[in-house]
Structure 1
Amino acid sequence: MPGYIITNAEVFDKDAYGEYGKLAPDAIAKYGREFLTRGGAAQILEGNWEPHRIVVVKFDSVEQAKAMYNSPEYQAAKEKRIGAADFNMIVVEGN
């Protein structure tokens, strides 16, 4: 069953966030991924959201998504975005 990481990222410092952007895709690709969306325009249909940069990444399983998140490669990328962006991130099972 596939797993999806869904992120809502509010970017404060585009230059510093760019350093994260240089490292994260390679870390994610190592675990077999498909970006379904990367920051396209979001429209609220219901609720009290404040969407910023929405990213959805598909993995073969939730376990694989969590392995990517906990990997040394992704953790190194994550260090680059601290202070540059606030992330809300979940992993969810899919079909």
Structure 2
Amino acid sequence: MSAYVVIDLDIENPDGFQEYVDAVTPMIEKAGAHNLVVDDDCLVLEGDWRPRTLVIHEFADEEAARAFWDAPGYQPLKALRRRHSTVKVVVARPR
């Protein structure tokens, strides 16, 4: 069953963050995942959550999402991302 990586993204350095995007996009595709949503103008219906940019990636299942997250090749990209942005990341699984 699909798993969705939901990211609340605040980009602090767009040029540096683009370096991350360029490197991570092929890794996401290789993992069999894809972007469902990249939205920097979400409609908030209730509450005080206002993500700067909301990103949702769809993976085949939770194991695929965790394998991507823990992959040795992704670790340096996490560090790159952290230099240029702040994120909150969760995995959601349909029931």
TM-score scaled by structure 2? 0.90
Partner Cα distance (2:72, 2:19) in 1: 16
Partner Cα distance (2:82, 2:44) in 1: 27
Structure 1 stretch 74-83 or stretch 47-56: which is displaced more? 74-83
Q: Which runs of 4+ in 1 moved over 4 A?
A: none
- Partner residue in 2 for 1:78: 78
SS in 2 for 1:82: helix
Assess if the C-alpha contact under 8 Å between 1:8 and 1:55 holds in 2. yes
Q: 1:56 to 1:10 in 2, by over 3 A?
A: same
- Partner residue in 2 for 1:33: 33
For 1:20-78, what per-residue CA distance to the aligned partner results, in whole angstroms no more than 9, with x for missing partners? 11111111111101211123521101111121111101111011011111112222221
Please give the root-mean-square deviation of Cα atoms over the aligned residues, in Å.
Answer: 1.3
- Partner residue in 2 for 1:13: 13
Q: How far apart are 1:79 and its partner, in Å? A: 1.7
Partner Cα distance (1:74, 1:43) in 2: 31
TM-score scaled by structure 1? 0.90
Partner Cα distance (1:74, 1:49) in 2: 28
Structure with more helix by fraction: 2
Extract unaligned runs of 5+ from structure 1: none
Partner Cα distance (1:60, 1:82) in 2: 26
Extract unaligned runs of 5+ from structure 2: none
Percent sequence identity over matched residues? 26
Structure 1 stretch 1-10 or stretch 25-34: which is displaced more? 25-34
